[in-house]
Each structure stands twice: as structure tokens, then as C-alpha cells.
């Protein structure tokens, strides 16, 4: 009879390894979140938004396990992993999408997956069963992320990929110098290499990047209400697909604010992914109607232009929070109206969107409490109204002055709407808003 001995790994080691894994995934997630708004490629943006949600869930599950394992100081004592964290803080300090994505998906994530797989091999699946359950899920989903990235990466010209190699080389060497993902921290200073280690800390741009395939635009809100049921369908989808701006903002906050409570980061990653899902709902409808996003309809971060570029990033939180408070009512109304008109697909999109929005309102409140702990609630409400009003004035001015950028898009939209099939119950059509001269048809989240 062959006796198989279990793998041996002390609880102290198990918790230290998983704590470092948690910190790696968490800080990598924060860098990915911050870099979403600076990423131009649409496919990459969509992947990043989904992956920060998955990664936040992975970090959370591992963190919970560490808290069970006699190592409760999981969000403090950062000195213990100081060298590692210094390298991870450099992740978004890149000069192109290809450099950034190469660093994340060719260097850091493979190291994370290798660490998870090594842990599963070297630990005892009976004694350490709760870790195994968590890490098996992490391994499967991280592998999925890498597969998704591989398809994107292979479509990049080899010459562009080659430009990113020196950055990836430095990152690989710097991670090793810090001790790697699956070891003790080296406590070493960051690996010096001119042109790489001395890059400034990445700062959130006040103007998010848009895919170079998309045409210039000013406002996403059409300058007049819809006139037909088909236009109504398209107006809703344009509003949805442009929720991209609302994904980029909470994601940016995850990077912009250090040392926030972990739960806030975790929920904000979900928030950002929800908004990207809402954008993808719009993209899916528009594709079904025969529209190309960014070409037939505008794709523009008008909220960033009208708010953050003029009033700073801090003002955006008030505008987002203010607009979101009207979200559930707006989306529940749309759900009913679209269903009655005979468009179950748009109706369902609005139904699930609405389900997300209640959470978003709470996340916004949590951010305001975290950022302004000593400010009275009445003052926060006043500031919210002020910033929302300034935003509404900005977009009303674009529409009234005719500087809305729709001159190119509107004829294309009208032509394509005329080709769309009749809905079963057009008599239920009630145009969103009522006046082209006002913004009574306003974007909601």
C-alpha cells in the first residue's frame, strides 16, 4: 500500500503568500481602473472594465481568506510588501495602450496565475480547502482574461508590440527584483533603468481617450427629441452606449484616491463594470439596427468635457451622483414604454440597468462620505445641485447655440431610422422630452 503524505505549508506561510497575492491583484486592478479612461481602443476598454470587476472579486475572496488565517492586518502594514507595491504603482505610467496592456497581461497577470497555480500545487487541499476553493476560481477566471487578451494582442502589428518590449522587460526585471509575486518582499529600492523607472506617477487625464476609428463629436444627447418609435429606440441606445463616460469616471476614482477602504474600491469596480455593461447594451442594440458606433452615432465623453475639464475631477462625483438619483425612475419608465411599443430587447436592457442603479446611488453616497467626512449633508446636497445645474447649462448651451456636433450624425441617423422595421404597437410611442430648444430630453445613467 502506498501512503501519500499531504503537502506541508504552515498557516503563517499560507496567509503571507495570499496576502501578497491579494495586494498584487488589488494594486494591479487599481492601475487598470485608472488607465481605462486613457485607453483609446474600444475592445481593450471593454475588456479592462470587465476584468477590474473580476479582479476585485478575486482580491476580495483572497482577502477574506487571509482574514481567517491569523493574519488580520491585511489592508495595513504595507511596509511588508513595499518593494512590490512600488513596482505596481508604475503600471499605468506607460506611453501607449500597447505598452500598458503588455505590462498587465504579458507580465503581471501571468505571474499572478503562476503564483495561484503554484499555491494550489504546494498546499494541502484538505487542511487548506477554503483557499483551494477560492484559488481554483481565481485561476480559471484569470486564465480566461489572458485568453481574451491574447486575441486582442495577436491583432496588434508586430512592430507596435516590439515597441512595448523594453517596458515589459523592465517590468519583469523590476518585479523579480522586488521578490516576485509569490515570495517574500525584497525590500529593495525600485530597479533603476532610465526612461522606465523614472517615469512620473500616472495622473487621470481630464479628457478620456476615444477610439481613433470614431469621428469627432461634441454631445451625445441628440439636439431634438425623437419623432418616431424607431428614433425612440435609437435615442435610448445612443444614451446607453455613451454610458462609457460613466464607466470611466468611477474607475478613475479607484486610482486617483489612495488608501480608501477596500470595500469602496471593490464596489466601485463593480459600478464601473455595470456602466460598461450599460454601454454594451446600447452597442448591441445599435448593431442590431445597422448602426456603427462612433461613425453613425457620436461616441463622446461630453460629461468629462462639460464638467471635469471645466470644474475638475471632484465636480464629476457630484454630477454623477446627482444624475444617478433620477436613474431608477427614468429607466423603469423606459422599460414600461419600450415594452408597450413592442421592443422587448430594449425594455429588458432598461430593466437590468435599473436594477444596477440602486447600488450606484449608494456607492456615490459612500464616496461623498469618504471624501467629505466633515461636510454637512445639506452642503453636499447643495453642491450636487449646483454641479448638476452647471452641467445642464453647458449642454443646453451646446444645443441652443447649434454647437452640438450633430450636423454630421443626424442625417445618417434619420436615414437609418427610416429603414428600421415597424414596431408592433407604434400607438404607444411617446417622445422622450418635448422641445428641441431645451434639454428636457436629458441623459440619465
Scanning 160-168, 171-179, 278-286, 289-297 for contacts with Fe ion by CB under 5 A, the matching segment is 278-286
> Are 175 and 107 in contact, with CB atoms under 8 Å apart?
yes
Shortest gap between Cβ of 301 and Fe ion (angstroms)?
14
Interface residue with Fe ion, options 277, 360, 399, 404 (CB under 5 A) = 360
Question: Contact between 241 and Fe ion (CB under 5 A)?
Answer: no
379-408 residues in contact with Fe ion (CB under 5 A) are none
From the list 224, 234, 243, 232, the residue with the least C-alpha distance to 299 is 243
Backbone angles phi, psi at 297, to 5 degrees: -130, 150
> Which residue, 29 or 445, is less far from Fe ion as judged by CB?
445
Strand (E) or helix (H) holding 98: helix 97-102
Question: How large is the greatest C-alpha to C-alpha distance in the chain, in angstroms?
Answer: 87
Residue among 23, 58, 270, 278 that touches Fe ion (CB under 5 A): 278
CA 189 to chain centroid, in Å, comes to: 31
Output 197 or 242, the one with its CB closest to Fe ion: 242
What is the Cα–Cα distance from 88 to 20, expressed in whole angstroms? 12
Q: With binding defined as CB under 5 A, does residue 248 bind Fe ion?
A: no
Contact present, 341 and 229 (Cβ < 8 Å): yes
Taking the complex as a whole, how short is the minimal distance between the CB of residue 66 and Fe ion, in angstroms?
31
Residue 243 interacting with Fe ion (CB under 5 A): yes
Q: Which is nearer to Fe ion, 243 or 302 (CB)?
A: 243
Minimum CB–partner distance for residue 202 and Fe ion (Å): 25
Site track for Fe ion across 63-102, x = CB under 5 A:
----------------------------------------
Interface with Fe ion includes 267 (CB under 5 A)? Answer: no
Q: Is 445 a binder of Fe ion (CB under 5 A)?
A: yes
CA gap 282, 81 in Å, rounded: 42
Instruction: For residue 445, give the nearest of 307, 276, 314 by alpha carbon.
Output: 276
Q: Is 128 in the site for Fe ion (CB under 5 A)?
A: no
Please give the sequence-ordered ranges of beta strands (E in DSSP) within 201-357, or none if there are none: none
239 binds Fe ion (CB under 5 A): no
Q: How far is the CB of 316 from Fe ion (least distance, A)?
A: 13
Give the torsion through C-alpha atoms of 362, 366, 369, 370, to 10 deg. Answer: -170
CB of 352 to Fe ion, least distance (A): 10
Distance CA 419, CA 286 (A): 13
Residues found near Fe ion in the complex (CB under 5 A): 243, 275, 278, 360, 445
Amino acid at each position: 500500500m502506498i501512503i501519500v503524505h499531504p503537502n506541508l505549508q504552515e498557516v503563517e506561510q499560507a496567509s503571507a503568500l495570499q496576502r501578497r497575492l491579494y495586494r498584487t491583484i488589488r494594486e494591479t486592478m487599481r492601475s487598470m481602473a485608472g488607465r481605462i479612461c486613457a485607453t483609446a481602443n474600444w475592445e481593450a476598454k471593454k475588456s479592462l472594465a470587465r476584468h477590474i470587476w473580476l479582479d476585485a472579486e478575486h482580491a476580495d475572496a483572497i482577502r477574506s481568506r487571509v482574514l481567517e488565517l491569523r493574519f488580520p492586518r491585511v489592508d495595513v502594514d504595507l511596509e511588508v510588501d513595499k518593494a512590490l507595491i512600488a513596482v505596481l504603482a508604475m503600471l499605468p505610467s506607460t506611453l501607449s495602450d500597447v505598452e500598458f496592456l503588455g505590462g498587465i497581461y504579458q507580465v503581471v497577470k501571468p505571474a499572478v496565475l503562476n503564483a495561484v497555480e503554484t499555491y494550489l500545487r504546494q498546499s494541502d487541499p484538505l487542511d487548506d480547502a477554503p483557499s483551494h476553493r477560492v484559488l481554483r476560481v481565481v485561476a480559471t477566471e484569470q486564465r480566461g482574461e489572458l485568453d481574451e487578451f491574447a486575441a486582442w494582442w495577436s491583432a496588434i502589428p508586430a512592430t507596435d508590440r516590439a515597441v512595448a518590449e523594453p517596458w515589459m522587460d523592465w517590468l519583469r526585471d523590476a518585479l523579480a527584483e522586488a521578490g516576485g509575486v509569490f515570495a517574500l518582499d525584497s525590500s529593495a529600492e525600485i530597479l533603476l533603468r532610465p526612461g522606465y523607472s523614472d517615469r512620473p506617477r500616472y495622473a487621470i487625464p481630464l479628457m478620456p481617450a476615444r477610439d481613433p476609428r470614431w469621428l469627432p463629436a461634441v454631445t451625445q444627447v441628440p439636439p431634438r427629441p425623437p419623432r418616431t418609435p424607431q428614433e425612440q429606440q435609437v435615442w435610448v441606445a445612443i444614451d446607453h452606449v455613451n454610458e462609457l463616460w460613466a464607466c470611466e469616471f468611477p474607475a478613475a476614482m479607484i486610482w486617483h484616491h489612495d488608501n480608501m477602504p477596500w470595500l469602496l474600491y471593490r464596489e466601485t469596480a463593480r459600478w464601473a463594470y455595470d456602466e460598461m455593461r450599460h454601454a454594451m447594451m446600447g452597442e448591441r442594440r445599435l448593431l442590431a439596427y445597422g448602426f456603427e458606433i462612433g461613425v453613425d452615432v457620436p461616441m463622446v465623453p461630453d460629461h468629462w468635457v462639460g464638467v471635469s475639464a471645466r470644474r475638475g475631477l471632484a465636480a464629476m462625483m457630484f454630477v454623477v451622483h446627482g444624475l444617478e438619483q433620477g436613474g431608477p425612475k427614468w429607466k423603469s419608465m423606459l422599460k414600461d414604454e419600450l415594452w408597450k411599443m413592442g421592443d422587448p430587447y430594449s425594455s429588458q436592457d432598461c430593466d437590468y440597468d435599473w436594477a444596477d442603479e440602486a447600488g450606484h446611488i449608494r456607492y456615490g453616497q459612500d464616496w461623498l462620505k469618504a471624501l467629505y467626512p466633515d461636510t454637512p449633508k445639506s452642503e453636499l446636497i447643495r453642491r450636487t445641485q449646483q454641479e448638476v445645474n452647471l452641467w445642464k447649462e453647458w449642454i443646453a448651451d451646446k444645443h441652443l447655440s447649434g454647437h452640438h456636433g450633430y450636423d454630421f450624425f443626424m442625417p445618417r441617423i434619420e436615414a437609418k431610422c427610416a429603414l428600421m422595421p415597424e414596431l408592433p404597437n407604434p400607438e404607444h410611442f411617446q417622445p422622450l422630452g418635448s422641445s428641441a430648444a431645451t434639454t428636457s430630453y436629458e441623459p440619465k445613467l
